[in-house]
Amino acid sequence: MQPTSTAERPPAPPASNSRTFSRAVADVREGWHNRELWGHLGWQDIKQRYRRSVIGPLWITISMGTTALALGLLYSALFGQEISTFLPYVTAGFVIWNFIVGCVTEGTDVFIANEGLIKHLPAPISVHVLRLVWRQVLFFVHNLVVYLVVLVIFFNDLTHPYRMVGDEDTLHPGISWTILLAIPGFVLIAVNAVWIALLFGIISTRFRDIPPVVHSFINLVFFMTPIVWHTGVLNKVGAQGDWRILIAELNPLYHFLEIVRAPLLGHAQSWHHWAVVGGFTVVGWGLALVALRNYRARVSYWV
């Protein structure tokens, strides 16, 4: 039998280009272009959660208000803080914290919870992540009402220079036009929320132990993050620059909180928070795109 000549051999199948960064970026871009889809689904999530409720989504605001008030009153007494400046501090921090935690904890389940849609709806998987972040943005807007109420009550105290008890060396200028810096700060947090949900969502579909681990760990992180306490408290138990300050500085969530909370409260701006968040944004999106490139096609089989 004569060997087959090169001309008679069938052409080699084209190499698959599904695992490329261009495909990963295209998934995110197509997901963003489907704004009408994930925007509508996000609204429906809110309506469905409070279906047949008398006051509807106002329960979000009431729950946030009672929690912030209770924590503010309790810890202001424990740490000897002025309620006029500490209650807004706790309220703003808790509102931002709820948004971050909601994106992280629900992000671990984002693809598992949308198993039916992923298997039957031909759409980029980033649509489900954007739907999640949009839903958390709506929760954040509801919770922001609590901050506005507190701001109105303590407006005179927050619009003049003031100091926090325990941090007398820092004079905060008070709320001014710099409050507008909270807008790009929140946008930056939302951008990070997308890559966090993408990365953790993909990993969690393969390893189902990740969601309960994250849910348990986040409770510990809450008490290690300056929300119901501030860094001035650390100065009271150690010298300035003591190792205790690293408890806050080495916590990335502290920097994410500060880029929004500081403008909302008229605190002195520390631009190293923006630098840290910017670094996490670049590195995080790089990791998310790598995961999206390698495992995007497998998500539908893992869920």
Q: What is the pLDDT of residue 13?
A: 44
User: What range defines the domain where residue 157 resides?
Assistant: 57-302
199 belongs to a structural domain = yes
Q: With the C-alpha atoms ordered 223, 81, 87, 268, is the resulting torsion angle positive or negative? A: negative
| 26: in domain | no
Q: How many domains does the chain have?
A: 1
What is the rounded CA–CA span in Å between residue 158 and residue 85? Answer: 7
For residue 92, what pLDDT is reported?
Answer: 95
Residue 1 lies in a domain: no
20, part of any domain: no
pLDDT attached to residue 12: 45
Inside any domain, residue 40: no
In this structure, is residue 204 part of a structural domain? yes
- Residue 256 pLDDT: 96
Q: Is residue 50 part of a domain?
A: no
Sequential pLDDT tens for the chain (303 residues): 455 444 455 554 444 455 788 888 998 999 999 989 999 999 888 888 777 776 777 777 888 889 889 988 988 888 888 899 999 999 999 999 999 999 999 999 999 988 888 888 788 899 999 999 999 999 999 999 999 999 999 999 999 898 887 777 788 999 999 999 999 999 999 999 999 999 999 999 999 889 999 988 998 899 889 998 887 776 665 544 566 667 778 889 999 999 999 999 999 888 899 999 999 999 999 999 999 999 888 888 888
Whether this prediction's pTM lies above 0.75 is answered by yes
Asked if residue 29 belongs to a domain, the reply is: no
